[in-house]
């Protein structure tokens, strides 16, 4: 076995990168980086009907967006090429022949009807349906006769009465009885290897030292260990990470939230936030801190602190973490992220020049305080764009009927026309209006908000007024007063 840590992420390209897969590759990435090791990206595309290059491209793009770059494998190359299973069939054939020659595997000619008969026998005995090893002891002559008009699969010969022991880095010692497994298929009738066989050959020939993957693979592990032993190949260290459940403790599905990384990209989540959130699903850092940079995660991550209990996908927590990153990211980045959503909502034109983008930065700077992800931005910006709003808030209309209102709005216009508008200056202007007219804050602030927005709630006036400017302020005041 290789002395240097080598881990792998080996997705099946049958759809976009799932959140569970993203968590698995993240744990592999953090472990490899922390150990100065190598992360390999391998594609398990032996499911010919469902695999597609489109899904493969989606997976790679999602990984790159997350910042989880691999050191070896697809697109990158390396000493163990090729890294796509359908391009490694000659490698698998060599090891299949070795198992057949040693008697650890044999050809099975049973039809689907015969297999169902064997399963029914098990059911009638109250046992789990399984293959009853009918072709185990076929002679060469019998095999030759069957081969004339039947296709065959290759089955692994499972030894009887063995206890298979797994020293799992997350779950501790786990044991399985070989008698409960049954002879399983390692090569299908079309010559394509099954997952349990191909993954062993790939991991062994690529000198993978640690297999960190989801708990759902734990029941596959005894079959894989039997193949390692039959071929005399060194076994990697296994670590099976807990399942991801919804808040109702059922298996995560669409009702718990979006299930693919692609969907979070489209909604305007930040990669740093999703990484931070995924790291906390099944891994417990020391202390109470929940916000970590990638560098901090690499430094702190260890398999010893990965829990064997299921992780809960908490959408509220993800939104809290993403909101934190939004409020601490550069306004330039957030504005570029926001523009497509604002264009789709009809607030922003198709072409945005530098001056207009600079103004949008102010809008986004205010709105980001209210959003959990960037696709929500349009919900909070109408007040910045619509100068000819309808006064639909009864409380706002009432606020504009006070006898002091004409003076308040007149003095506001006078002051904003003469002053450089920025938040601190606007705060001073509002205080001066109170002093100049000898009025309490409510009689000043509420009419100004109502006149400029048509609402009684919204962004702070010292944030809004600088973005509107004198001309738009005058236009909005006239619009509002005309509706009283």
Active site residues: 254
Tokens representing 141 are 């002559």
Exposure string (b/e) for 153-188, b if CB count within 10 Å is 16 or more?
A: bbbbbbeeeeebebebbbbeebebebeebbbbbbbb
Q: Are 450 and 383 in contact (CB under 8 A)?
A: no
SS3 at position 336: helix
Strands 153-156 and 184-187 come out as: antiparallel
CA neighbor of 315 nearest in space, from 267, 379, 283: 267
Q: Are 193 and 157 in contact (CB under 8 A)?
A: no
Tokens representing 75 are 């697109």
The span from the CA of 215 to the CA of 19, in Å, is 14
Q: Which residues contact 232 (CB under 8 A, 6 or more apart)?
A: none
Cα dihedral value 393, 395, 400, 401, nearest 10: 120
Tokens representing 89 are 């069939």
∠ CA(458), CA(469), CA(392), 5° rounding?
A: 40
Residue 249 gets the label, from left (phi > 0), alpha (psi -120 to 50) or beta, of left
Question: CB neighbours (10 Å) of residue 273?
Answer: 23
Torsion over CA: 472, 477, 482, 484 (sign):
positive
Q: Are 9 and 70 in contact (CB under 8 A)?
A: yes
The span from the CA of 98 to the CA of 103, in Å, is 9
């Amino acid at each position: 076995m290789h002395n240097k840590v080598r881990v792998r992420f080996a997705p099946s390209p049958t759809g976009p990168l799932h959140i569970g897969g993203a968590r698995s590759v993240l744990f592999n990435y953090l472990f490899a980086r922390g150990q100065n090791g190598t992360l390999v990206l391998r594609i398990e595309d032996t499911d010919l009907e469902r695999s597609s290059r489109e899904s493969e491209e989606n997976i790679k793009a999602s990984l790159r967006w997350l910042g989880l770059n691999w050191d070896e494998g697809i697109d990158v190359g390396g000493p163990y090429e090729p890294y796509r299973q359908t391009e490694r069939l000659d490698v698998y054939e060599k090891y299949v022949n070795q198992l057949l020659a040693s008697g650890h595997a044999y050809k099975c000619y049973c039809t689907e009807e015969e297999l169902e008969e064997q399963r029914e026998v098990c059911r009638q005995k109250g046992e789990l349906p399984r293959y009853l090893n009918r072709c185990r002891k076929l002679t060469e002559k019998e095999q030759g006769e069957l081969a004339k008009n039947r296709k065959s699969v290759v089955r692994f010969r499972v030894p009887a009465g063995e206890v298979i022991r797994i020293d799992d880095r997350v779950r501790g010692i786990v044991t399985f009885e070989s008698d409960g497994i049954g002879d399983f298929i390692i090569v299908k009738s079309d010559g394509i290897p099954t997952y349990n066989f191909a993954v062993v050959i790939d991991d062994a020939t690529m000198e993978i030292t640690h297999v960190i993957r989801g708990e759902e693979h734990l029941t596959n592990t005894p079959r894989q260990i039997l193949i390692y032993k039959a071929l005399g190949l060194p076994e990697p260290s296994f670590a099976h990470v807990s399942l991801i459940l919804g808040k109702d403790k059922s298996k995560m599905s669409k009702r718990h939230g979006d299930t693919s990384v692609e969907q979070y990209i489209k909604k305007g989540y930040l990669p740093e936030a999703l990484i931070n959130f995924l790291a906390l699903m099944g891994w417990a850092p020391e202390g109470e801190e929940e916000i970590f940079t990638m560098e901090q995660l690499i430094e702190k991550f260890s398999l010893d602190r990965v829990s064997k209990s299921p992780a809960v996908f908490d959408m509220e927590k993800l939104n809290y973490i993403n909101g934190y990153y939004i409020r601490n990211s550069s306004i330039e980045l957030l504005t570029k992220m926001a523009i497509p959503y604002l264009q789709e909502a009809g607030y922003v034109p198709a072409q945005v020049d530098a001056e207009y983008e600079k103004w949008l930065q102010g809008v986004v700077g205010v709105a980001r305080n209210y959003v959990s992800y960037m696709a929500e931005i349009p919900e909070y910006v109408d007040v910045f764009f619509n100068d000819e709003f309808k006064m639909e808030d009864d409380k706002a209309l009432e606020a504009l009927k006070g006898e002091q209102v004409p003076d308040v709005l007149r003095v506001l216009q006078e002051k904003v026309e003469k002053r450089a508008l920025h938040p601190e200056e606007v705060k001073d202007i509002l205080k001066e209006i109170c002093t100049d007219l000898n009025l309490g804050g409510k009689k000043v602030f509420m009419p100004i908000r109502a006149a400029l927005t048509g609402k009684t709630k919204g962004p702070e006036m010292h944030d809004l007024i600088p973005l509107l400017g004198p001309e738009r302020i005058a236009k909005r005041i006239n619009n509002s007063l005309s509706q009283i």
